[in-house]
Amino acid sequence: MSDAIDLQSTRSGRTYRLIRTFRIGGRLAHEAQDDLGNRCWIKQAPASDEAAIARLRYEAIVLAKLDHPGIVRLLDRGRNRSCFFLVLSQAPGRTLNELLEGRQLALSFVLTIADQLANLLHYLHAQGIICRTLTPSALYADHLGRTTYVDLSMVWDEVSLPDSTEMYGDPTYSSPEQIIGAVVERRSDIYSYGVLLFELLTGRPPFQGSNRGDLALQHLLTPPPNIRELRPDLPQDLVALVDRCLAKLPAQRFPNVTALLETLCAIATGTALEKASLVPR
Q: Domains in the chain and their CATH numbers?
A: 5-88 (3.30.200.20), 94-274 (1.10.510.10)
Q: For residues 99 and 105, is the Cβ–Cβ distance under 8 A?
A: yes
Amino acid at 212: R
- Give the pLDDT confidence score for residue 159 in this predicted structure: 72
Give the side-chain half-sphere CA count within 13 A for 15. 5
Q: What is the rounded distance in angstroms from the CA atom of residue 111 to the CA atom of residue 121?
A: 15
User: Whole-structure pTM over 0.85, yes or no?
Assistant: yes
Other CB atoms closer than 10 Å to residue 106's CB: what's the count? 9
**Coil vs helix vs strand at 106:** coil
- Give the pLDDT confidence score for residue 277 in this predicted structure: 46
Q: How far is CA 23 from each of CA 20, 28, 94, 100, 213, rounded to the nearest angstrom?
A: 10, 4, 12, 17, 25
- Give the pLDDT confidence score for residue 161 in this predicted structure: 55
Q: For residues 31 and 101, is the Cβ–Cβ distance under 8 A?
A: no
**pLDDT in single tens digits along all 281 residues of the chain:** 345 688 988 888 899 999 999 988 778 899 999 999 999 999 999 999 999 999 999 999 999 999 999 999 999 999 888 899 999 999 999 999 999 987 889 999 999 999 999 999 999 999 999 998 899 999 999 999 999 999 998 898 877 655 544 555 788 999 999 999 888 899 999 999 999 999 999 999 999 988 989 999 999 999 999 999 999 999 999 999 999 999 999 999 999 999 999 999 999 887 655 554 444 44
DSSP letter at 77 equals E
Q: For residues 120 and 149, is the Cβ–Cβ distance under 8 A?
A: yes
Q: Helices 236-245 and 257-277, interaxial angle, to 10°?
A: 160
Length of the chain: 281
Report DSSP letters for 221-235, one per residue: HPPPP-HHHH-TTS-
Q: For residues 115 and 167, is the Cβ–Cβ distance under 8 A?
A: no
Q: For residues 157 and 130, is the Cβ–Cβ distance under 8 A?
A: yes
